[in-house]
Structure 1
Amino acid sequence: MIWIVILLTFAVDQLTKYLVSHNFHYLESIPIIPKIFYLTYVHNYGAAFGILQGRRELFILVAIVVLAFIIYFYKQLPKDRISRLALGLALGGTIGNLVDRLRLGYVIDFFDFQVWPIFNIADSAIVIGMALFAWILFNDYTAKS
């Protein structure tokens, strides 16, 4: 199951980035729900919220370390479906953004809620995966207390 989640997350991320980059002009913005949600094509040379702009090598190194860490400890992680889903989302998203950084030198972002930094499928998968892990850890901790 985990490999399917990783591959689907990666594939959907790369497909949406391809569609945006080949159908939008750079910085083009199309309202989906005016004043709330737009598709806006941008290049992100930084991390979340645009911090650490131009630190490509750092982000590549961090992604590789995270991937190596997760793969190394994979057998020790819980085997339940939620944990596998969380891990698959986090890994698929990390690989998706890593591929962008290696191939393009930046990450393609396009979901624009106007009050939040512009993001992509990989970012969403990483956040959802980590939120699921936090939920699992919190529930495991409270169950043992």
Structure 2
Amino acid sequence: MQILYILLLVIIDHITKYIAKIQLSYGKSVTLIDGFLELIYVENRGAAFGILKNKKFFLVGITTIAIIGMIYYLVRTANLNKWERMSLIFIISGAIGNLIDRIFRGYVVDFIHFYIKDIFDWPVFNIADILVVIGAIILAFSILFLKK
């Protein structure tokens, strides 16, 4: 069942990326909340925040190893609680979603831009990134606050 959840989340990620790619021409933006949130098409050729730009083979290799390790741990560890399972499902899904982009496009499609006028400007991200961050937060919470 866990693999089906991962597959579903990867599909959702790629549907949103496909919609962003066909609806937003490069550099064009759609404001959702003025001064706060917009959709804009960006091709990220690096990792988080654009670091390791144009290091495709390195990023693909590291991500593949991490995904294999997490899937192995998820499938083989029987005593994970529901929060740990959910966190790993989210992290794996996000990693696979962006890995597919890197392998087949050579870049990751990002399209969600969060900012606060001229005060704060977060780098553009996507659903896969959200999954990884939420998964990491849930995992940290589970490790720190839930007893085995």
- The question of a shared fold, defined as TM-score above 0.5 by the shorter chain, is answered with yes
* Residue number in structure 1 paired with 2:136: 130
| Other-structure match for 2:38 | 38
1:56 maps to 2:56: yes
- Assess if the C-alpha contact under 8 Å between 1:42 and 1:109 holds in 2: yes
CA drift of 1:77 comes to 6.1
Q: Are 2:60 and 1:70 equivalent residues in the alignment?
A: no
Structure 2: runs of 5+ lacking an equivalent: 116-120
**Is it true that 1:116 corresponds to 2:122 in the alignment?**
yes
Go from structure 1 to structure 2 and tell me whether the alpha carbon gap of 1:77 and 1:130 turns closer, same or farther (over 3 Å shift).
farther
Q: Which residue does the alignment assign to 1:47?
A: 47
Q: In structure 2, what is the Cα distance between the partners aligned to 1:57 and 1:108?
A: 17
Q: Quick check: 1:139 aligned with 2:139? A: no
Q: 2 CA distance for matches of 1:64 and 1:77?
A: 23
Task: Judge conservation of contact 1:39–1:111 (CA < 8 Å) in 2.
Answer: yes
Cα separation, 1, equivalents of 2:125 and 2:97: 13
Amino acid at match of 1:134: A
Structure 2 letter corresponding to 1:65: I
User: Are residues 1:14 and 2:14 paired?
Assistant: yes
Identity in percent? 36
Structure with the largest fraction of helix: 1
In structure 1, the gaps of 5 or more residues are none
Q: CA RMSD in A?
A: 1.5
Partners of 2:125 and 2:68 in 1: how far apart?
Answer: 24
**Structure 2: how far apart are the matches of 1:40 and 1:25?**
8
Higher relative contact order (CA 8 A, sep 6+): 1
TM-score (ref. length: structure 2): 0.89
Does the 8 Å CA contact 1:2/1:87 hold for their aligned counterparts?
A: no
Please give the alpha-carbon distance, in whole angstroms, between the structure 1 residues aligned to 2:109 and 2:21. 8
Structure 1 outlier segments of 4+, above 6 Å: none
C-alpha distance in 1, partners of 2:79/2:102? 30
- Which amino acid counterpart does residue 135 of structure 2 have in structure 1? G
- Residue of structure 1 in register with 2:118 after alignment: none
Report the alpha carbon displacement of residue 11 of structure 1 after superposing the two structures with TM.
0.9
CA offsets 1:14-45 (integer angstroms, 9 cap, x no match): 00000010111011111111111000100000
Give the secondary structure class of the aligned counterpart of 1:31.
strand
Say which is worse superposed, 64-73 or 25-34, in terms of deviation.
64-73
